[in-house]
Amino acid sequence: MPELKRAVGRPTWVYGTKLRLFQVHSKEWSEAKDKGSAAVGTFYTNLTKIFIACYGWHFDYKESDLDHDCVEPTKDIWSAVTDTNGLDQSEVDKRLKYYQDLRQSIVRWWSTYHNKPSKEESKQNQMEIQTTLAKISKQLPKPPRRTRMTQYYSKWYFFQQEHLKSTFDTLWEHERTRVLAPGEKRMKRLDYANKVTEEYYAKESEHFKTWLHGEREKQFQVKLKKYQEKMKALDAVPSDPSSYHKALSNAASFMQPLCDLTAKKFGAAVSMIVVLPVENGTIQMRSVFSGKTQGLHPQIFPEFDPDAFDALQESYVNFGHHVFSQADRDKRTIWKQSEEGADGKPGDKEDDEDEEQEDDEEEGGEEQLRERPSSPPADLESLLEHLQSTSSTYLPPTPSSSQQSPIITAALQPVPAPLQQPTPPPAPPSTLQQSTPQLLPSLPIPPRSPSPRLPHYPQRSPSPLPEPVPPPERELLSASQTATQPTHTSTPSISTAPTTPALQDIPESTADKISAVLAVADKWGAEWAQLVATFIQFERNAGFTTKEYRLPASSLRPAAFKAWFAMKRPTSGPSWEELGTGDSLAYGKAWWAWWADMQPPSRQIEGDMAPDTDGSALDWTRLCKPGAYGIMLVLVSLMWWKNMLGELVDSSWTRAVLDVEAVLRWSLKPAPATSAPKPAPKRKRAPTDADALANVDAPRQKRSVKPTARVLGITRVEETTLHQDFTPRKDVRHVTKWTCRFGMMA
**Residue ranges in 71-116 assigned as alpha helix (H):** 75-78, 89-115
Question: Roughly what angle, to the nearest 10 degrees, separates helices 632-645 and 584-597?
Answer: 160
pLDDT confidence of residue 675: 47
Q: Report the C-alpha gap between 549 and 630 in whole angstroms.
A: 6
Among residues 505, 535, 507, which one has the least CA distance to residue 630?
A: 535
DSSP one-letter code for 70: P
What pLDDT sits at residue 171? 87
Q: How far apart are CA 328 and CA 330, in angstroms?
A: 6
d(Cα 258, Cα 275) in Å, to the nearest integer?
A: 17
Report the Cα–Cα distance between both ends of the chain, in Å, rounded: 117
- By C-alpha distance, which of 307, 312, 306 is closest to 285? 312
Residue 702 CA to residue 695 CA, distance in Å, equals 15
Q: Which amino acid is at 188?
A: K
Show Cβ contacts of residue 460 under 8 Å, excluding neighbours closer than 6 positions.
441, 488
* DSSP string covering 400-442: SSSSPPSS--PPPPPPPP-TT-SSPPPPPTT-------TTSPP
Other C-beta atoms lying within 10 Å of the C-beta of residue 2: 4
The model's pTM is 0.31
Q: Is 598 within 8 Å of 623 (Cβ atoms)?
A: yes
Contact 421, 392 (CB under 8 A): yes
Residue 703: what pLDDT? 57
Contact 727, 621 (CB under 8 A): yes
> What's CA 629's distance to the chain center, in Å?
11
Q: Is 715 helix (H, G, I), strand (E, B) or coil?
A: strand
Nearest to 656 by CA among 547, 542, 555, 558: 558
Does residue 738 sit in helix, strand or coil?
A: strand
* Rounded-to-integer distance, Cα 547 and Cα 360, Å: 10
User: Which residues share a beta bridge with 606?
Assistant: 609
Lay out the sheet containing 743-745: strands in order across: 715-719, 735-740, 743-745
In a 3-state reduction of DSSP, which class is residue 95? helix
Give the burial class of 526: count Cβ atoms within 10 A of its Cβ; 0-12 exposed, 13-18 middle, 19 or more buried.
Answer: buried
- For 734, the 3-state DSSP assignment is coil
**Phi, psi for residue 404 in degrees, rounded to 5:** -80, 140
3-state secondary structure of 735: strand
The pLDDT of residue 271 is 93
Domain ranges of the chain: 17-116, 241-370, 395-460+486-667
Amino acid 423: pLDDT: 42
At 259 the pLDDT is 86
Tell me how far apart the alpha carbons of residues 623 and 729 are, in angstroms, rounded to a whole number.
12
Residue 93 neighbours by CB under 8 Å, 6+ apart: none
Q: How far apart, in Å, are the Cα atoms of 220 and each of 152, 660, 694?
A: 11, 61, 108
Please classify residue 162 by burial: count the beta carbons closer than 10 Å to its beta carbon, then call 0-12 exposed, 13-18 middle and 19+ buried. exposed
The DSSP symbol for 636 reads H
d(CA 336, CA 277): 12
**Closest listed residue to residue 620, CA positions, set 550, 653, 667:** 667
> Which uninterrupted H or E stretch holds 718?
strand 715-719
Distance CA 252, CA 67 (A): 59
* Closest CA relative to residue 713, chosen from 678, 683, 741: 741
φ/ψ bin of 708: left (φ > 0), alpha (ψ from -120 to 50), beta (otherwise): beta
Q: What torsion, rounded to 10 degrees, do the Cα atoms 99, 100, 102, 105 define?
A: 170
- The CA distance from 369 to 711, in Å, is 35
pLDDT for the residue 256: 82
112, 9 contact by CB (below 8 A): no
Low-confidence ranges of the chain (pLDDT < 70): 1-10, 114-140, 159-160, 162-163, 233-237, 250, 253, 335-504, 670-746
Residues near 257 by beta carbon (within 8 Å), at least 6 away in sequence: 132, 135, 136
In the chain, what's the furthest Cα-to-Cα distance?
161
Instruction: Give the length of the chain.
Output: 746
- Count of beta carbons in the 10 Å neighbourhood of residue 621: 21
Residue 538 to residue 540: CA distance in whole angstroms: 5
For the chain, give me the number of helices (H) and strands (E)?
A: 28, 5
Residue 740 DSSP symbol: E
CA distance 548 to 361: 10
CB-CB neighbours of 169 under 10 Å: 10
Q: In terms of DSSP H, where are the helices of 542-672? A: 560-566, 574-579, 584-597, 632-645, 651-667
Q: Of 481, 457, 454, whose CA–CA distance to 470 is shortest?
A: 481
How far apart, in whole angstroms, are the C-alpha atoms of residue 338 and residue 577? 34
Ramachandran angles phi, psi of 32, nearest 5°: -65, -35
